[in-house]
Structure 1
Amino acid sequence: MRSFPKHQFLAALLGLLISFNDLRAEPARTALIIGNSHYLHAPLKNPQNDANDLANTLTTLGFNVMLHIDADQRQMEQAIDQFEDQLKKRSGIGLFYYAGHGIQSQGTNYLLPINNAIERERDLRYDAVDVGRIISAMEFASNDLNIIILDACRNNPLTRSFRSSTRGLARLNNTPKGLLIAYSTSPGEVALDGDGRNSPYAKSLIHAIQTKNQHVLLTFQAIANAVQSETKGAQVPWISSSLTRNFFFSQTHEQQPIITTTIAKTANDSTLLKSPKQPTKPSTIAKPKPSLAAIETIEKPYELPQDQYHWKIQQDILTDSSLGPKLVLIPAGEFIMGSDETSKHEKPEHSVNIHRPFWVSIHEISFQQYDLFSLQTQQRLPKAQWGRGPQPVINVSWQDAHAYTLWLSEQTGRNYRLPSESEWEYFARATTTSRYYWGNELAQCSALPLSRIDQSRGFQKNEIHPCAQTLKQKQRILANCRHCFSWVKTGKTFPVNSYQPNAFGLFNALGNVAEYTQDCWRPNYYGAPSDHSAYERNNCSQRVVRGGHWNSAHNEIQVTSRQPVKISTKSDQVGFRVVRENERSNHKTDF
């Protein structure tokens, strides 16, 4: 028998133990898959193939799969009950997939068993399987996360004889927390069975879930893109999500962030590269210098998390040889925009691809920068009740901010503009997935609960002062807002270089002043573009502001928070920062 050196044996044993612990820590994965093909009326070719092929793929991805082909009603209901039992026992991740005939009646979705003898619409409740049964099973199991995939919209001749039913399935509303429902086509539309071995949807699904380190929402976006391309737009997949945690079908042991972009830079190389495997120590990371107009300095340098990036910074030269706003390069990448857990205006969550790098001003535009524009264009200087210089410019309308970007473009010969909503949320998040770019909570003082802050400030009680002082000494005041302890008696803006920058090097992305974007206001994200483009329309009287301001509550400065504002409104709570397209320019670069 071959012998190994002792150190090699110990290393191998340690690696085995680490791998074993990783496997034990991985949440259990349980799947129920049903594929019904051989109907007496209107048989289908591919559901059995789709179910078998998906079952094999999910097995390789660590799922414990329960597979049923050509199931009758009793078999389907028993399988769902067994699925619920397994979810209760194993917890973790639950997945249900159905391929076959489906029908909706009066807003309720039904899956049709192989032996259905349905002649009247009222028979559905007795002879078909209500999708609500699967949802209830998942609710009762109380496991971590669930996914329902319904490739059940293939054309069904029963709909022709039913009075209230329509083609396809109905969209389910008020789904429980932690559930994603994926439809192979839009609600009320019909999916294709396909001419090959698999339906277009199943083929794309099987391929997409094998992509390494791809967030589940990005996975279903990839599926939608592939199906629309294959069917030339005839079939448009749809999802409804209330997920509250991340999930990856296929993942390496090293956790990957939702935002897939990486950027690294040395003093001699500013090319976009993948992040090095060995993290850079925070002390070696290049930090942006304060703006030329800065009066106050940061009390303590901000140490970036070790898995973040160096910053590439530049300033364009204006016609009078002065410098424009200091810019940082934001790398391309993908992220999940919006929130299904907060305001209705932030729904639905959707994936966005920022497909090219762009520059954004490190600071909110200051009075010093804006006053130069006002003087050169003979505009009235905006009111500044808390001082000018390094304070963020306020009391300017969206129209004024837009005019400033046109002036900057004329001064530099480059394309300056306001950021789109998607760009704004992308650079404000700075690779994070939490409520704020520093985490899910504001720093709080144990002696003064959040619920008492407003009352304490309103009556100017002394208890708020020691809390604010303690947090200030500990460098834990992270933004300027009503509940951030940044101000105690009277609210106001603070200089643009105050507090800690986020991981992209941006100061005051949350709080201080709300920031204009290019987008026209709309009440939600349904139909929103999946790229960086802004939403525009004719006669747009309201634009979107993001990030909250000095008088915003804790839940109004989250990275997803958004509000409408009239384009002519001037407020002491609203300012802006600018974006510049990534192109060669006459500029000064700092590293």
Structure 2
Amino acid sequence: KIKKELSLLIPGLEREDSLIVALAGHGVQFKADKEPYFCPLDARISDKSTLISLLWLYDQLKYDNPSGVGCKPRQKLLLYDACRNNPTPESKRSITTSRGLASNSLPQIAPLPEGLVALFSCAEGQEAHQHEPLKHGVFFYHVLEGLKGKADGDRDRKITLDEVIAYTKSQTQIYARLNLAISQTPRQKGYFDGIWELNSLPDTIPFTNSIGMQLVPIQAGSFTMGSNDGGDNEKPPHLVTIGQAFFMQSTEVTQSQWQAVMGTKPWKGEVYVKEGSDYPATYVSWEDAVAFCQKLSQGEGKTYRLPTEAEWEYACRAGTTSAYSFGDDASQLSDYAWWGGILGDGNAKSEQYAHVVGTKKPNPWGLYDLHGNAYEWCSDWYDKEYYANSTARDPNGPDSGSFRVLRGGSWYYYAISARSSYRNVRTPDLRLNFIGFRVVAE
């Protein structure tokens, strides 16, 4: 059946097509025959016609193959995971000890056809292993995980052949050594000249950058910004459209993340501060936060910035219209936020500092601490009357002002300040123990 499928597929391929052939199963090589074979599920070792010769397969993948049809694609990949356990169910012996058979872990055969890269599951003399928790062979499990996104080493959301090979080789070796106490080293034969993009990750998948920030996709959409139940600066409620999807950090920027980018500790020695890698970076001004985003962007090769006030409230509400993202009942706030440490009678009363990020429940979109913990800088200038004149699509705030917007409430303040629509302000040069920020990525 495999041969038939290939014979039907190959003639219809063009030069700019890409071809991936993946084989997972048993591999054999007869002692009197240097030709290696792959065993399909219904193969019979006694009947070579039921086996697939790798030499035959190589011939089929040549541009000028013996059939005269030719395999035209410039990009061809062979993934070969040949388990060397005996394919006959009544025997538990290694196939290499079966009568008349030799090892076929890494076939030593003619050079690969032009444009073909082959990745074998293990080196010569090794065995390719399975592990029940993976539901796959160790090799193919890591191939698939790499293609899904884990191989994206440069975090450009494009998965290339070189990245998949590098990820599969390293992770297969590590997994086999740590979990099975054996050596399994995938081997590559042949090279592709150029960059072959195997997969492009959609913008609906969270990603983690090089300093450990997890960024959650926020899709474009519309919502009602503001509230009639809050202060005058929250009125009038008005429809706002966020026209472009973006990524928002799932937590506030932590002290370790700040240090990784800026190399400083602005909170050091200050009051009402707990130090540690996963505590929020506080005593950070709006100007400091913007400088952080600029430096992070340079290091990551991607644009990072502060969220606009509209983006912040849109992400905080996460499709809700209630006072908080979890509803209108402020008695539930302690499940989602650290609040009321100085003003109010909240759960930070006896622990008067910004707490480790992500320890409370997230909002419906997987974002933590948007209510409480640390106030968060937004990019906008502040104008009390701005909502009456705001643009309906992607508002960026006034053109100028004296104050910058803060959102989300903090460990310091009353529950009312943690409402989704609540607006606070400070001068852009101010640093305080209850002010931090989170970033968005374009």
Letter in 2 for 1:344: D
Letter in 2 for 1:402: V
CA distance in 2: counterparts of 1:522 and 1:565, whole angstroms: 12
Paired residues, number: 238
1:499 aligns with 2:360: yes
CA distance in 2: counterparts of 1:554 and 1:486, whole angstroms: 10
Change over 3 Å in CA distance of 1:380–1:553 after alignment to 2: closer
1:516 aligns with 2:377: yes
**Kindly, what percent of the aligned residue pairs are identical?**
31
1:484 deviates by 7.2
CA distance in 2: counterparts of 1:526 and 1:268, whole angstroms: 48
Are the aligned partners of 2:266 and 2:283 in contact in 1 as well (CA < 8 Å)?
Answer: no
Q: For 1:35-61, what per-residue CA distance to the aligned partner results, in whole angstroms no more than 9, with x for missing partners?
A: xxxxxxxxxxxxxxxxxxxxxxxxxxx
1:313 aligns with 2:175: no
CA distance in 2: counterparts of 1:372 and 1:489, whole angstroms: 30
Any stretches of 5+ residues in structure 2 without a counterpart?
Answer: 1-145, 150-202
| Corresponding residue SS for 2:209 | strand
Q: For 1:503-542, what per-residue CA distance to the aligned partner results, in whole angstroms no more than 9, with x for missing partners?
A: 111000110001000000100311112122311424x431
CA distance in 2: counterparts of 1:490 and 1:409, whole angstroms: 34
| Corresponding residue SS for 1:443 | helix
1:336 aligns with 2:224: yes
The one of 579, 582, 585 aligned to 2:440? 579
Alignment correspondent of 1:567: 428
Q: For 1:263-305, what per-residue CA distance to the aligned partner results, in whole angstroms no more than 9, with x for missing partners?
A: xxxx9999xxxxxxxxxxxxxxxxxxxxxxxxxxxxxxxxxxx
CA distance in 2: counterparts of 1:386 and 1:400, whole angstroms: 20
Letter in 2 for 1:569: L
Give the number of the structure whose alpha-carbon radius of gyration is greater: 2
- Please give the residue correspondences for 1:148-167 in structure 2 after superposition, counting only pairs within 5 Å: none
Letter in 2 for 1:348: P
CA distance in 2: counterparts of 1:514 and 1:312, whole angstroms: 27
- Please give the residue correspondences for 1:99-498 in structure 2 after superposition, counting only pairs within 5 Å: 312-317=205-210, 323-375=211-263, 379=264, 381-383=266-268, 385-443=273-331, 477-482=335-340, 485-498=346-359
CA distance in 2: counterparts of 1:311 and 1:493, whole angstroms: 30
CA distance in 1: counterparts of 2:275 and 2:360, whole angstroms: 18
RMSD across aligned positions (CA): 2.5
Are the aligned partners of 1:335 and 1:351 in contact in 2 as well (CA < 8 Å)?
Answer: yes
| Corresponding residue SS for 1:352 | strand
1:533 aligns with 2:363: no
Letter in 1 for 2:215: L
CA distance in 1: counterparts of 2:285 and 2:347, whole angstroms: 26
Letter in 1 for 2:235: K
CA distance in 2: counterparts of 1:484 and 1:333, whole angstroms: 36
CA distance in 1: counterparts of 2:323 and 2:147, whole angstroms: 36
Change over 3 Å in CA distance of 1:330–1:572 after alignment to 2: same
1:550 aligns with 2:427: no
Alignment correspondent of 1:215: none
Letter in 2 for 1:479: A
Are the aligned partners of 1:511 and 1:548 in contact in 2 as well (CA < 8 Å)?
Answer: yes
Q: For 1:188-218, what per-residue CA distance to the aligned partner results, in whole angstroms no more than 9, with x for missing partners?
A: xxxxxxxxxxxxxxxxxxxxxxxxxxxxxxx
Alignment correspondent of 1:8: none
Alignment correspondent of 1:213: none
| Corresponding residue SS for 1:372 | helix
Q: For 1:482-510, what per-residue CA distance to the aligned partner results, in whole angstroms no more than 9, with x for missing partners?
A: 15742233422110111001111100011
Q: For 1:77-130, what per-residue CA distance to the aligned partner results, in whole angstroms no more than 9, with x for missing partners?
A: xxxxxxxxxxxxxxxxxxxxxxxxxxxxxxxxxxxxxxxxxxxxxxxxxxxxxx
Any stretches of 5+ residues in structure 1 without a counterpart?
Answer: 1-266, 271-309, 318-322, 445-470, 582-591
